[in-house]
Amino acid sequence: MPPRFRPLTGAFQPLLVLANRCGGPLLLAGLMILAFWRILLTDQYTWLNGEDLSNQVMPWLQFQALEWHAGRIPLWSPYEWGGQNLLGQGQPGVLNPLNWLLFAAPLRRGWLREGVLHWWFFLIHYIAALNLYWLARSLNLSRTAAVFGGLCFGLLGFLGSNDWPQMMCGVIWAPLVFRFLLKGQAAWAGFFLGLCWLSGHHQLPIFVSLSVAAAAIAFRIYGGIWTFIVAGLVAAPQLLPGLAYGRLARRWVGMEEAVGWQDKVAYFVHEQYSNVATSLFSILLPGAERHTSFYLGATALALAAWAMYKDWARREVKLFTGLGIAALLYALGRNGGLEPLLYSLLPMIEKARSPSMAGAIFSMSFAALAAIGLDQRPRMERFHWAFGGGIFLLFTLGKLLPANQSQLEERWLAVAFVSLLIGFAYRGVASRHLNALLICAVLIESANMTYFNMGNRFDKNAHNLMPAMGRHSDVRDFLLQLPQPVRVTVDDKAIRYNFGDWQGVEVMGGYLASLSANTMEVDWFAPRTQSLAGIGYHVGPTPRVEGSKLLFQGEHGISVWAYPTPAFPRTWLSNATMPYRNPAELGTLLQTDTIDPRQVAFVRQPVPGLESCPPGEAAVLLHNPGQVILRAHANCASLLVLADIDDPGWSVSVDGKSADKISAFHALRAALVPKGSHTVEWRYSPQGFRPGLALSLIGCAIPVGLTLRRGRQRRREARSSSLA
């Protein structure tokens, strides 16, 4: 190069270095966008077409987005079952940083944008792929091999077939956990394991933690201990409230009755959510699984096998092979033998009731092996010919035997055709072009897996529940025009989604995986108990009880009915109490006509200091999800009852001074107020949340501090060597 251009080259040197470093991630991003063309490059498809996504996940996300835009952390939802601990439930992912990105996006007339949801969904997969890319690069693999491994992890197997964000976010950080664990940086490994636990759901973090424990036992025992310590600190604001809530809640797990914290999930539930031995075919054939897919495809599986054959002496190959095979055995439940053993020996493992989801660890492990295999000059043409030819033979027999033809999926033909092409490519394509063809093969194979069944909005036969969720805004608008606060019941057969969180209306009901025990132990739908809870209206096509009055008829067959028995106001003053021994006795007392719950509050323990006088007046001044302000004028010392569900995280103050909280009617909140006019404020902070935040800051500071110290040490060593 002529000398006059050297200064220009030097000026652009940092940009060239940056471009060189970002080339792999940018290529990976472009390929991932191409793989998700359905939802990113058109407006015809959506991933939001599953029952759980529409009925449960989307309402959670919508409520949280509104709370973030209102400047509040959504710790409590008043819109389901009279109010429930949102953070403690875990699955809403309140503290998941990736959810915060979604909530920070601009809303459209108060609603989450479908396009933003699609890009957020893509981002989850891209982060997973990018993390596998960085894991591969830390193993000194080429950029092409790292991109290939990232595509395998982000598009195939677990992430290519699962559509629950709270599940996916529990595993996408796993590659970085192992990246830093293998490099001996346990603090950073713990940080990313903590991010797995902040996803909300516990199943995938349990499987990732089991894998870390196995790796630590095999390679770095002390590093593994440090990893778990830092992970516990980072995830403390989710773990501590979750543990506190778990002890006070009942969870539906597939057994006849909801179970408590001390109850073990029966093994027959694990059997129902395990894969079977024939699910192993799904490693090569998409859709052959019973539950979670193992799909890796012929291209990636062949490369993973090549890595095991050519580079077995490498410790990473042994580690990921062991983790992948162990994950397969675990996901097969009793058919694999490993899961029943761990179920019997390890405490708390039974809480992860879906063994098949351990397939996520198989997906990650064999994606890493496939990346290693790509750099080992693979020669796997015979495998591809045998696989592709075998599938074509299978379809030929299927044509001859019509009874079996319906058991064959046409997309298997596409997978087999690609496999045959790759087999010929090994023979006829130069090695420098082969890697590009292998990447193309994975993209084509993933097209038969990555949300293959995404519904097109113009297809009348496509399963899409989102339009139905937009048909009840007229009902919501009518309810919000009534004197607030309003609480309703909903016909869950006509409206299957969580109407309360989605529409911003308080509902005594909802579609949840768990519920606080005090809520479950009261029959809120008995006539007088219903009035006590402030339930004045029913939403549905028909009235829930005879004698209800039609108030509003919606455009899509959903109406609002007023119950014949008027609802109590949300708050009132009571000057007498009556003890009860258990919820059953409380239910009997509440239905006794001679006792007026407005005059007599039912409590488990006597309330000292109450005085007898005519009842005073009380009103709601502010009713936000985590804050309620009441105004009370008491003629003497009285009990101020608030008909909202109680939880240990609620605290109360009277005229700015802390007061004792009293549980009334087994599940409602109350406080003692003296004679006169008072302002009573209720505030919510889940048990363990504030100390958890402090611990999380410490956990985040540990890897950052160690990195800074390591950097200073390197600079001192560099200066010492230069002086020497």
CATH number of the domain encompassing residue 619: 2.60.40
Higher pLDDT, 517 or 592: 517
638 pLDDT above the threshold of 60: yes
Q: Is residue 414 included in any domain, yes or no?
A: no
564 pLDDT above the threshold of 90: yes
Q: Is residue 395 included in any domain, yes or no?
A: no
385 pLDDT above the threshold of 90: no
**pLDDT averaged over every residue in the chain:** 89
Highest average pLDDT, of 50-64, 270-284, 620-634, comes from 620-634
Ramachandran class of 348: left when φ > 0, alpha when ψ lies in -120 to 50, beta otherwise: left
165 pLDDT above the threshold of 80: yes
pLDDT range class, residue 724, cuts 50, 70, 90:
low
pLDDT range class, residue 502, cuts 50, 70, 90:
very high
pLDDT at 5: 44
Both 536 and 653 in a single domain?
A: no
SS3 250: strand
Please answer whether residues 494 and 558 qualify as being in contact, where contact means their C-beta atoms are separated by less than 8 angstroms: yes
Q: Total structural domains in the chain?
A: 3
Q: Which of 667, 684, 701 is the last residue of a domain?
A: 684
- d(CA 294, CA 283) in angstroms, rounded, equals 5
Report the pLDDT averaged over residues 445-471.
Answer: 72
Both 611 and 477 in a single domain?
A: no
Report the pLDDT averaged over residues 202-217.
Answer: 93
Q: Is residue 407 included in any domain, yes or no?
A: no
Both 369 and 492 in a single domain?
A: no
pLDDT tens for 221-266 read: 778 899 999 999 999 999 999 999 999 999 988 888 888 888 888 8
* b/e 209-242 (16+ beta carbons within 10 angstroms → b): bbbbbbbbeebbeebbebbbebbbbbbbbbbbbb
468 pLDDT above the threshold of 80: no
Q: Which domain holds residue 118?
A: 40-74+89-379
Both 558 and 666 in a single domain?
A: no
Both 205 and 344 in a single domain?
A: yes
- d(CA 431, CA 425) in angstroms, rounded, equals 9
pLDDT tens for 420-446 read: 888 888 877 766 778 888 888 888 888
pLDDT range class, residue 475, cuts 50, 70, 90:
very high
Q: Which helix (H) or strand (E) holds 114?
A: helix 114-138
**Max CA separation in the chain (angstroms):** 103
- d(CA 668, CA 644) in angstroms, rounded, equals 5
137-146, 320-329, 387-396, 550-559: segment of lowest average pLDDT: 387-396
122 pLDDT above the threshold of 90: yes
Report the pLDDT averaged over residues 341-348.
Answer: 88
pLDDT at 405: 44
> Alpha helices, DSSP H only, in 463-605?
466-469, 473-481, 499-503, 517-520, 527-532, 583-590
> CA nearest 296: which of 359, 381, 357, 363?
363
Both 254 and 308 in a single domain?
A: yes
Both 521 and 652 in a single domain?
A: no
Q: Is residue 611 included in any domain, yes or no?
A: yes
Both 233 and 370 in a single domain?
A: yes
pLDDT at 556: 87
pLDDT range class, residue 465, cuts 50, 70, 90:
low
Report the pLDDT averaged over residues 694-711.
Answer: 93
11 pLDDT above the threshold of 70: no
Q: Is residue 52 included in any domain, yes or no?
A: yes
Q: Is residue 597 included in any domain, yes or no?
A: yes
Q: Is residue 699 included in any domain, yes or no?
A: no
pLDDT at 404: 47
32-41, 152-161, 215-224, 314-323: segment of lowest average pLDDT: 215-224
* Orientation angle between helical segments 203-218 and 174-182, nearest 10 degrees: 20
pLDDT tens for 73-99 read: 999 999 999 999 999 999 999 999 999
Higher pLDDT, 219 or 491: 491
- d(CA 166, CA 514) in angstroms, rounded, equals 15
Both 583 and 534 in a single domain?
A: no
Please answer whether residues 476 and 505 qualify as being in contact, where contact means their C-beta atoms are separated by less than 8 angstroms: yes
Both 224 and 249 in a single domain?
A: yes
Both 141 and 191 in a single domain?
A: yes
Q: Is residue 346 included in any domain, yes or no?
A: yes
Q: Which of 517, 533, 562 is the last residue of a domain?
A: 562
- d(CA 189, CA 219) in angstroms, rounded, equals 14
Q: List the structure tokens of 335.
A: 């058919």
Q: Above pLDDT 70, what percent of the chain?
A: 94
Q: Which of 345, 360, 379 is the last residue of a domain?
A: 379
pLDDT at 505: 95
Q: List the structure tokens of 94.
A: 């309140």
Both 591 and 649 in a single domain?
A: yes
8 pLDDT above the threshold of 60: no
Report the pLDDT averaged over residues 152-164.
Answer: 92
* Orientation angle between helical segments 315-331 and 297-310, nearest 10 degrees: 130
